[in-house]
Amino acid sequence: MSNHALENASQALKNARCAMAFTGAGISVESGIPPFRGPGGVWSKYDPEKFEKGYFKRHPDEVWPLLKEIFFDMLEKAKPNPAHIALAQLESEGKLAGVVTQNIDSLHKEAGSSVVHEYHGSTRRMQCMSCRTFFDSHSIPLDKLPPACPACGGLLKPDFIFFGEGIPTDVHRAATDLAKQSDVCLIVGTGGQVMPAGRIPYIVKNRGGTIIEINLHDTDYSYTTSDYFLQGKAGDMTPRLARLAMA
Ligand code: NAD
Ligand code: ZN
């Protein structure tokens, strides 16, 4: 990557009328949360079928220990890294209108970002599949699995999207509206293969906007969509870009 690309990208961000960020698993890798795909990823160890909603309902005793191991134990320890923090700073400096994230780890909010559309939900809440009540995950003990709804004893499901579930209309609309208003989209740490989330940057691009991409490796966006591809670690490149854009 040339310094030229970094400088030009920072100018684009600086001059944006409205900029947004679109993030994926790669932004949280330096917080200790591995991505799903590739060697060592979740899908190389666990069968994705287990995270299909119907299977979960039929076999909660089998799936809940996996949910605890993959999502709750690991996420408990994770802290925001310099990439999450840089996006929060850009927002507080008025240089970023909001973040659409595919992650369910809540690290953007923990870093201080206030406009965060969690497109796939988050681990912060659970919902009872019988009475539909939501609970803060911290209030639900996970020593006995599956955890029971404190109100009715029903089955609790983490409030993130399982396979076979649609994106809730409100978050889809909020994310799409932000993209329609944005003339710059900063993509950090996602290959965009998960649909419909992966289409968000195209909304910006198709309306004539500028796409800046930060990733360790090139992706489907890199050659077709990205105006600036900044190759590197999210935790290194995002703060560098942000510093230049805020200067
Ligand atoms: P993905 O495309 O969202 O993420 C992986 C991408 O991150 C790859 O393009 C990879 O090159 C890049 N990457 C890896 N380390 C990086 C780093 N240090 N800096 C910059 N880029 C880096 O794909 P996925 O992992 O298959 O995720 C699928 C779905 O599961 C998504 O919705 C994702 O958000 C979700 N998921 C969430 C979490 C989380 O909440 N932290 C973790 C894993 C997966
Ligand atoms: Zn209930």
Selection from 74, 88, 94 nearest residue 116 by Cα: 88
Atom of ligand 1 nearest to the CA of 217: 11
Helix (H, G, I), strand (E, B) or coil at 209: coil
Alpha carbons 72 and 66: distance in angstroms, whole number: 9
Q: Are residues 239 and 181 in the same domain?
A: yes
Alpha carbons 231 and 1: distance in angstroms, whole number: 6
Report whether residue 35 contacts ligand 1, using a CB cutoff of 6 Å. yes
Contact 75, 124 (CB under 8 A): no
120 included as an active-site residue: yes
Q: Give 148 Cα–ligand 2 centroid separation in angstroms.
A: 8
Residues ≥6 apart with Cβ < 8 Å to 95: 13, 14, 16, 19, 242, 245, 246
Report whether residue 230 contacts ligand 1, using a CB cutoff of 6 Å. no
Identify the domain boundary among 160, 176, 191.
160
| 136-178 confidence digits (pLDDT tens) | 999 999 999 999 999 999 999 999 999 889 999 999 999 999 9
Question: Tell me, what CATH number does 240's domain have?
Answer: 3.40.50.1220
Report whether residue 107 contacts ligand 1, using a CB cutoff of 6 Å. no
Identify the domain boundary among 160, 178, 212.
160
- Residue 109 is predicted with a pLDDT of 97
- Residue 39 is predicted with a pLDDT of 66
Angle 232-226-222 from CA coordinates, rounded to 5°: 60
pTM for the structure as a whole: 0.95
Question: Tell me, what CATH number does 128's domain have?
Answer: 3.30.1600.10
Q: Give 155 Cα–ligand 2 centroid separation in angstroms.
A: 7
For residue 185, say whether it is annotated as part of any ligand binding site.
Answer: no
Q: Are residues 64 and 129 in the same domain?
A: yes
Alpha carbons 81 and 198: distance in angstroms, whole number: 23
Q: Are residues 245 and 194 in the same domain?
A: yes
Q: How far is CA 9 from CA 65, 162, 166, 226, in A?
A: 44, 35, 34, 11
Q: What is the mean pLDDT of residues 11-27?
A: 97
Q: Are residues 215 and 109 in the same domain?
A: yes
Report whether residue 84 contacts ligand 1, using a CB cutoff of 6 Å. no
- Residue 37 is predicted with a pLDDT of 74
Q: Which domain holds residue 92?
A: 1-32+79-120+167-247
- 77-187-36-240 Cα dihedral, nearest 10 degrees: -50
Q: Which of 37, 71, 223, 241 to mutate to test the pocket of ligand 1 (most atoms within 8 A of CB)?
A: 37
List helix spans (H) across the chain: 3-14, 42-45, 53-58, 60-67, 74-77, 82-92, 107-111, 169-181, 200-206, 220-224, 234-246
* pLDDT category of residue 21 using cuts at 50, 70 and 90: very high
Q: Closest ligand to 132 CA?
A: 2
